[in-house]
Amino acid sequence: MNKGRMILLGAMVLLGGTTAGQLMAHGDVVPQAVDTTALPEIGQDWLEKNPYSGNAKAVEIGQSAYGQNCARCHGLDAESGGIAPDLRYLELGETGDQWFMERFRHGSAHDGKVYMPPFGDVLGQKAGWAIRAWLETKHEG
């Protein structure tokens, strides 16, 4: 568990159960850890191309990881309700991979306002590529 996460959990305990529950309802929650031990190791360096594209196990893990970490903004089953971009239309292939990872790792903020939190350090690249592998199966357009 990293330091930021411990502080956040500590704050939730201090705020008490009800408040933490309300925070969750607003979607402002700690990222949910993703178990990626079943996936092939891909090293520490961030890759530019999805190593799990078409990997059935990765698609399964990615679907669940998406549901826990991304769906609240990007929509159930990747169908956006309009709060955040519809990820079914993300470009396939390496250009799409790179853009996906850019946002997954660093999130998005403008003028001091966070539109999307960064996930790279908390979930790791195996989880990121697994989500991308699942999104590829949902691609449209």
List interacting residues with ligand HEC (CB under 6 A): 69-70, 72-74, 84-85, 87, 90, 100, 103-104, 108, 115-116, 119, 131
Q: Which is nearer to ligand HEC, 42 or 71 (CB)?
A: 71
Q: Which is nearer to ligand HEC, 16 or 92 (CB)?
A: 92
Helix, strand, coil distribution of the chain in percent, nearest 5: 55, 5, 40
Give bridge partners of residue 114 from the DSSP assignment.
Answer: 109
Q: Which is nearer to ligand HEC, 72 or 138 (CB)?
A: 72
Read off the tokens for 139.
């691609």
In the bound complex, what is the minimum distance in angstroms from residue 66's beta carbon to ligand HEC? Answer: 6
Q: Which is nearer to ligand HEC, 39 or 90 (CB)?
A: 90
In the bound complex, what is the minimum distance in angstroms from residue 76's beta carbon to ligand HEC? Answer: 13
In the bound complex, what is the minimum distance in angstroms from residue 80's beta carbon to ligand HEC? Answer: 9
In the bound complex, what is the minimum distance in angstroms from residue 126's beta carbon to ligand HEC? Answer: 13
Side chain identity, residue 56: A
Read off the tokens for 52.
């799990």
DSSP string, 75-120: -GGG---SSS--GGGSPPHHHHHHHHHHHHHH-EEETTEEEE---H
